[in-house]
Amino acid sequence: MKALVIGCGRFGVQVSEYLAWKNHDVVVVDSDSESFHALSKEFTGRALCGIGYDKDILEQAGISTIDVVIGCTSSDSLNAVVANIAKNVYHVPIVIARMYDPIRARMFEAMGIYTVSITRLGLDNVVEYLEGIKSWRVVRKFGNDVQLVRARIPASLEGKPFSELDVDGKIKLIAVERQGYSFVPKQYDFCEYSDIVHLSVSMDYLEQARDLLQL
């Protein structure tokens, strides 16, 4: 996975070093070159000095091939700008923004941008999200009967009709995210590798649902 981290403060350092340690290709950007001294000698990623929303800096970071952008600065406004550009201009598949303002955080999550706030566990929450979004993540539970699930379509299901993901009374496909936009699939729409699907799944059918998605 190729990751772009904006902000090399304490949180940005934690995220960058963890992702590099997991053998991901990491670029960290900060406007203060001195901040890179906080990175350990073992950090295998690339440090780039500049403004996180600057077009030239983003292109130097390889934004067109980036899989995940994480806004880690201490500024909600800067993280918001970075997240918007990554999501809506470059259509980065996964966008995460650190947010101190809970109202703004809820607004961004409604737009499909995952947020990490001071009330969450920081790095642990980012790690959990990135690990989960690779395949399967329970987003919400409705009582003891139904779960809302977010899953990534594997390569093995490329070309399969979305209708095959519906199981009467057990699984209902709600929406699909693809390259920065969302849609409700029609009867003859087909899966593409790395599509994100949102499903409602009966609690007694979770294992079968994962088998159906080949996860």
Q: How far is 33 from 39, CA to CA, in rounded Å?
A: 11
Check if the beta carbon of residue 130 is closer than 8 Å to that of residue 15: no
Q: What is the mean pLDDT of residues 136-149?
A: 84
CB-facing half-sphere around the CA of 201: CA atoms within 13 A: 25
Q: How far is 18 from 86, CA to CA, in rounded Å?
A: 21
Superfamily of the domain at 2-133: NAD(P)-binding Rossmann-like Domain (3.40.50.720)
Report the run of H or E that residue 47 belongs to, with start and end.
Answer: strand 46-49
Q: pLDDT > 90: what percent of the chain?
A: 45
3-state secondary structure of 39: coil
pLDDT band at 187 (very low <50, low <70, confident <90, very high): confident
Whether 97 shows a pLDDT value over 70: the answer reads: yes
Return the CATH fold of 136-212.
Answer: Alpha-Beta Plaits (3.30.70)
pLDDT band at 166 (very low <50, low <70, confident <90, very high): very high
pLDDT in the model for residue 90: 92
Domain residue limits, the chain: 2-133, 136-212
Record the pTM.
0.60
* Lowest-confidence pick of 8-22, 47-61, 109-123, 134-148: 109-123
Whether 119 shows a pLDDT value over 50: the answer reads: no
Report the run of H or E that residue 171 belongs to, with start and end.
Answer: strand 171-178
| Assigned token pair, 120 | 């969450």
